[in-house]
């Protein structure tokens, strides 16, 4: 079966190609599956989301590679065809719903607009559809909410509205970029469970972009760990979190404080994540890696299969399996 989303050797760079931010990203996502993309600032994870919907910021451009969606090369589509795809087959949820919602329009008209444009409904049908969608995202009193403006809602409610807008065109693919980072922890868990329930009901595939390893471990089928514009580890979430192979993934999981592990020094990772355009030579993680050797400083390791998963590390084959449980 061919993948719903097929990214092949994607390169994106800023400043006329001088500052690479994505270097050779290859990923596949099957219909109805969930892919988690984890990384820190500067890892390129948000640029990846923007490249998927072809909404790269000014100054950034795709310098190589291909993104295929439902077997079609998105690079070959004109802006009009792309706009038809966005908001319908591909939808997006961003971190801050206050900036993605129009403050001057009611919630109802913003959802109904999508339904009218993409589903060909008339105004009355579209408003009815909007009420159903608000019910689907479990907002209380949906009819009353339809007539309200974004500022009248709490952060959690706004993010549910953003979810309803994303669902309005019956998407095949939902891209969520840090959807719960601005939410309180109890509201975050509710929203993530809602996303999962909606996915089971509507069957869309989900790309979840986040810095939060706990979210990915719980919510995703597959994980791609990004560092400095490259995927350093990729595989089923249970494998990547249960037996992480890349030194970065291992160190990151090992550095997290836990409710049950009190006192004692945390195993911090030394140094800083590199900024785009100022990458060290060879493996980008080598200045922070305890295993770094001459080979690591000299050459970029390829993302190589380790069975069910893949790891970009020269030492992957010699690493002992690590008990991830603390």
Partner 1 sequence: MSLLQLDHIAMHYPLRRSVGRATGTVRALDDVSLSIAPGESVGLVGESGSGKSTLARIALKLQSPTEGTLRFRGEPVAERGTSLRAFRSAVQAVFQDPYASLNPRMRVGDTVAEPLRSLPRANRPHDIAAQVAAALAAVELPADAAQCYPHQFSGGQRQRIAIARALILQPALVVLDEPISALDVSIRAQILNLLAELRQRRGMAYLFIAHDLPAVAVISDRIAVMYCGQLIETGPAARVATAPLHPYTQMLFASVLDPHDAHAWERPLPIGEPASPVDPPSGCRFHPRCPHAIERCRVDAPALRDTTGGQIRCHLVP
Pick the piece of the chain touching partner 1 (CB under 8 A) from 4-12, 87-95, 142-150, 213-221: 213-221
- Dist. CA 90–CA 81, nearest whole Å: 12
- Dist. CA 35–CA 267, nearest whole Å: 28
Nearer to partner 1, 61 or 218 (CB): 218
Percent helix, strand, coil in the chain, to 5, is 35, 20, 40
Contact 247, 285 (CB under 8 A): yes
Exactly one of 208, 213, 224, 245 binds partner 1 (CB under 8 A); that residue is 213
Provide the minimum distance between the beta carbon of 241 and partner 1 in the complex, in angstroms, as a whole number: 5
- Dist. CA 115–CA 188, nearest whole Å: 27
**Is residue 257 involved in binding partner 1 (CB under 8 A)?**
yes
Provide the minimum distance between the beta carbon of 20 and partner 1 in the complex, in angstroms, as a whole number: 19
Exactly one of 75, 214, 277, 302 binds partner 1 (CB under 8 A); that residue is 214
Exactly one of 187, 291, 300, 322 binds partner 1 (CB under 8 A); that residue is 187
Pick the piece of the chain touching partner 1 (CB under 8 A) from 44-52, 126-134, 141-149, 205-213: 205-213
Phi, psi dihedral angles at 30 (to 5 degrees): -85, 155
Exactly one of 14, 69, 204, 241 binds partner 1 (CB under 8 A); that residue is 241
Exactly one of 1, 58, 268, 320 binds partner 1 (CB under 8 A); that residue is 268
Provide the mask over 129-168, with x wherever binding to partner 1 is found by CB under 8 A and - wherever it is not. Answer: -------------------------xxxx-----------
The kind and range of the H/E element at 65 are strand 60-69
**In the chain, alpha helices (H):** 45-52, 79-85, 97-100, 107-119, 123-136, 142-146, 155-168, 185-202, 213-219, 237-242, 247-255, 294-298
Provide the mask over 278-307, with x wherever binding to partner 1 is found by CB under 8 A and - wherever it is not. Answer: ----------x-------------------
Pick the piece of the chain touching partner 1 (CB under 8 A) from 23-31, 161-169, 211-219, 310-318: 211-219
CA geometry: angle at 212 spanning 27 and 101, to 5°?
85
Exactly one of 15, 55, 144, 266 binds partner 1 (CB under 8 A); that residue is 266
Which residues 15-54 are close enough to bind partner 1 by CB under 8 A? Answer: 40-41
Look up residue 8 and give its DSSP letter: E
Does the CA dihedral 245-248-254-259 come out positive or negative? negative
Provide the minimum distance between the beta carbon of 288 and partner 1 in the complex, in angstroms, as a whole number: 8
Look up residue 288 and give its DSSP letter: G
Provide the minimum distance between the beta carbon of 84 and partner 1 in the complex, in angstroms, as a whole number: 36
Nearer to partner 1, 79 or 323 (CB): 323
Q: In what order do the strands lie in the sheet with 19-29?
A: 19-29, 5-14, 60-69, 72-73
Exactly one of 263, 318, 320, 321 binds partner 1 (CB under 8 A); that residue is 263
- Dist. CA 109–CA 131, nearest whole Å: 11
Residues forming the site for partner 1 (CB under 8 A): 40-41, 154-157, 184-190, 192-193, 211-218, 241, 251-253, 255-263, 265-270, 272-273, 275, 288, 324-326
């Amino acid at each position: 079966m061919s993948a719903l989303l097929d990214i092949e050797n994607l390169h994106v760079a800023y400043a006329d190609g001088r500052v690479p931010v994505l270097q050779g990203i290859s990923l596949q996502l099957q219909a109805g599956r969930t892919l988690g993309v984890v990384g820190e600032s500067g890892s390129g994870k948000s640029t990846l989301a923007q490249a998927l919907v072809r909404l790269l910021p000014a100054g950034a451009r795709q310098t190589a590679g291909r993104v295929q969606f439902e077997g079609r090369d998105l690079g070959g589509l004109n802006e009009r065809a792309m706009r038809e795809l966005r908001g319908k087959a591909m939808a997006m949820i961003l971190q801050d719903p206050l900036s993605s919602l129009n403050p001057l329009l009611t919630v109802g008209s913003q959802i109904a607009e999508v339904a009218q444009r993409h589903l060909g409904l008339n105004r009355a049908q579209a408003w009815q559809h909007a009420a159903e969608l608000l019910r689907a995202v479990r907002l209380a009193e949906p009819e009353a909410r339809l007539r309200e403006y974004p500022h009248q809602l709490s952060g959690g409610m706004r993010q549910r509205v953003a979810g309803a807008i994303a669902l309005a065109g019956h998407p095949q693919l939902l891209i969520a970029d840090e959807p719960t980072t601005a939410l309180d922890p109890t509201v975050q868990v509710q929203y993530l469970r809602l996303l999962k329930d909606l996915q089971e009901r509507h069957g869309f595939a989900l790309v979840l972009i986040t810095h939060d390893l706990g979210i990915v471990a719980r919510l995703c089928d597959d994980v791609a760990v990004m560092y400095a514009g490259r995927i350093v580890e990729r595989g089923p979430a249970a494998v990547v979190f249960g037996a992480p192979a890349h030194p970065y993934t291992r160190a990151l999981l090992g550095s997290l404080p836990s409710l049950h592990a009190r006192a004692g020094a945390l195993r911090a990772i030394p140094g800083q994540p590199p900024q785009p355009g100022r990458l060290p030579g060879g493996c980008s993680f080598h200045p922070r890696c305890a295993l770094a050797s001459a080979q690591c400083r000299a050459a970029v390791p390829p993302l190589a299969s380790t069975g069910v998963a893949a790891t970009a590390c020269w030492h992957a084959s010699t690493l002992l399996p690590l008990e991830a449980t603390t």
